[in-house]
Amino acid sequence: MKKLIVLFCFLVSFQLSGMQYVDKIFDWVGIKNTYESQSSAQESSKKVVMLLKVNQQNDNGSVASALMDAYLDPSIQGIVLLINSNGGDCADFSFLHDLVKKIALDKPVVVFIQGYACSAGYLVASAANYIISASLAQIGSIGIYIEVLRVTGEGNVKLDDITSPCKVTVISAGRYKSLFNPCSEPLSTQEIAYLQERTQVSYRAFCQLIADNRNLNMQETELWADGQTFLSFRALELGLIDEIGTMLEVRKKMSELLNVTESQISFIFPPSDGTGQ
């Protein structure tokens, strides 16, 4: 009888222990599932930000195409433009400026100036929501110039392995049609006056775009738009940039604009630029 009582107590004890062990297993599974769901939630809460380069090596058409892709992709929440550009033809950069400005109304665009943001390169930068610059970057060079070349004297032409002097005569219709042809006659006083007026009109339009973007005073263009290039600290004083910093500050600002934590920001390059080189 005693043996039966001991055996019964042992079985009851084993069953209780087993149930506790099973409960512990379920507890662990519950913790694991909770962890996995939290990890999944954290992954889904990541805000993907596209990094795009604007420099002398990347043509503006390719940059514009990448911008459009990032804008239309619902998985991309923000865009960072890495600018290192001395600029170029304002007409060639103005469409890029206009696109950045439109996109910045719907998705945050932050600029990081790596080395240079000059002339039309700065025009593009000014369209962003926020501009951060490296400490010794060169910024500004806001102005317009027109270059007109003229060939002096007679040149030589090679025909059938024979080199012979030649003179080119330009015949055109329209008063200013051949103005930029290097073989045209030297510029007349009237043509120079026309080019100067055209330069002033372009300059005012250029400055107005930047003034609107950066809330600058058009009555003070002699301070910020006289063709000078400024170091970052002076550009900050003039209102051409918002902050001097690094990509860490870029991450911080983007997190503020997206109203998330910095750890939720995930930077990527376009597939065609996956190496980031």
Comparing 10-14, 108-112, 145-149, 266-270, the range with the smallest average pLDDT is 10-14
Please check whether residues 62 and 132 belong to one and the same domain.
yes
Q: Is residue 169 part of a domain?
A: no
Q: Which residues on adjacent β-strands are paired with residue 231?
A: 138
Question: Mean pLDDT over all residues of the chain?
Answer: 84
- Pairwise CA distance, residues 235 & 140, whole Å: 8
CATH number at residue 241: 3.90.226.10
Q: Are residues 109 and 227 in the same domain?
A: yes
Q: Do residues 82 and 29 share a domain?
A: no
CB 49, CB 78: distance < 8 Å: yes
Do 250 and 121 belong together in one domain? yes
Reported as a single tens digit per residue, the pLDDT across 216-252 is 999 999 999 999 999 999 999 999 999 999 999 999 9
Instruction: Report pLDDT for 168.
Output: 82
Is 239 found in the same domain as 195? yes
Domains of the chain: total: 2
Helices 189-214 & 90-103 angle (0-180, nearest 10): 20
**What is the pLDDT at residue 195?**
95
- Domain assignment of residue 226, yes or no: yes
Pairing verdict, β 138-140 and 109-118 = parallel
Domain shared by 23 and 88, yes or no: no
Classify residue 131: in a domain, yes or no.
yes
Distance, CA of 98 to CA of 53 (rounded, Å): 17
Confidence of residue 272 (pLDDT cuts 50, 70, 90): low
Q: For the chain, what is the radius of gyration of the CA atoms?
A: 32
Residues 234 and 194 in one domain: yes
Q: Residue 276 — very low, low, confident or very high, per pLDDT cuts 50/70/90?
A: very low
What's the pLDDT score for residue 157? 67
38-52 mean pLDDT: 70
Q: Which domain holds residue 5?
A: 1-43
Say which amino acid occupies 3.
K
DSSP element (H, E) containing 47: strand 47-55
Are 54 and 138 part of one and the same domain?
Answer: yes
The answer on 88 and 28 residing in a single domain is no
Do 39 and 49 belong together in one domain? Answer: no
Q: Give pLDDT, residue 236.
A: 98
Mean pLDDT of the 15-23 span: 45
32 pLDDT higher than 70: no
What number of other Cβ atoms are within 10 A of residue 31's Cβ? 10
Which helix (H) or strand (E) element contains residue 62?
Answer: helix 60-72
DSSP secondary structure string for all residues of 53-108: EEESSS-HHHHHHHHHHHHH-TTEEEEEEEEEE----HHHHHHHHHHHHHHTTTS-
Q: What is the pLDDT of residue 275?
A: 40
With respect to residue 15, please indicate whether it lies within any of the assigned structural domains: yes
- Residue 232 CA to residue 114 CA, distance in Å, equals 11
Within a domain: residue 198? yes
End-to-end Cα, the chain, rounded Å: 85
pLDDT band at 215, cuts 50/70/90? very high
Residue 153 lies in a domain: no
Q: Are residues 64 and 123 in the same domain?
A: yes
Please tell me what DSSP assigns to residue 271. Answer: G
Judge whether 202 and 213 are in contact, CB under 8 Å: no
Same domain, 107 and 217: yes
Rounded Cα gap, residues 249 and 173, in angstroms: 56
At 156-214, the pLDDT tens digits run: 667 677 777 777 888 999 989 999 998 888 999 999 999 999 999 999 999 999 999 99
The answer to whether position 156 is within a domain reads no
Residue 37 has pLDDT above 80, yes or no: no
Residue 180 maps to a domain: no
Confidence (pTM) = 0.79
214 has which bridge partners?
none
